């Protein structure tokens, strides 16, 4: 349903996922430990694996998607053509 918060939810979910940089961490120091310093020590019991997710836009009529959609239905569906074929709107 329009205005139910689908896009807002997906944007919030994407922000909640830590996206690692090229060395596998998100602190930019290149050591992969995520603590910001370049030592090789790792905190005991700390899990360094980050969740991986894909954001999907399923709204073919939206003009702006405020998140990086991995899959975008707008690439496949032309909502104006669908509306014309089914005599909608």
Q: Is residue 62 part of a domain?
A: yes
Alpha-carbon gap, residue 54 to 19, rounded angstroms: 11
DSSP SS3 for 72 = strand
43-60 average pLDDT score:
71
| Residue 85 binned pLDDT confidence (cut-offs 50, 70, 90) | very high
Contact 39, 31 (CB under 8 A): yes
Distance CA 37, CA 60 (A): 44
Tens-digit pLDDT profile for residues 16-47: 875 444 444 445 445 555 555 545 444 455 55
Tell me the residue range of the domain where 80 lies. Answer: 1-26+49-89
Domains held by the chain: number: 1
> Contact, 79 vs 60, CB < 8 A?
yes
Please report whether residue 80 resides in a domain. Answer: yes
Give the count of beta carbons closer than 10 Å to the beta carbon of residue 38: 10
């Amino acid at each position: 349903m329009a205005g139910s918060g689908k896009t807002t939810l997906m944007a919030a979910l994407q922000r909640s996922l830590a996206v690692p940089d090229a060395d596998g961490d998100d602190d930019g120091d290149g050591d992969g430990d995520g603590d910001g310093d370049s030592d090789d020590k790792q905190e005991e019991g700390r899990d360094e694996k980050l969740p991986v997710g894909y954001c999907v836009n399923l709204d073919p009529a939206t003009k702006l998607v405020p998140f990086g959609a991995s899959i975008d239905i707008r690439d496949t569906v032309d909502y104006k053509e669908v509306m014309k074929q089914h005599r909608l709107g």
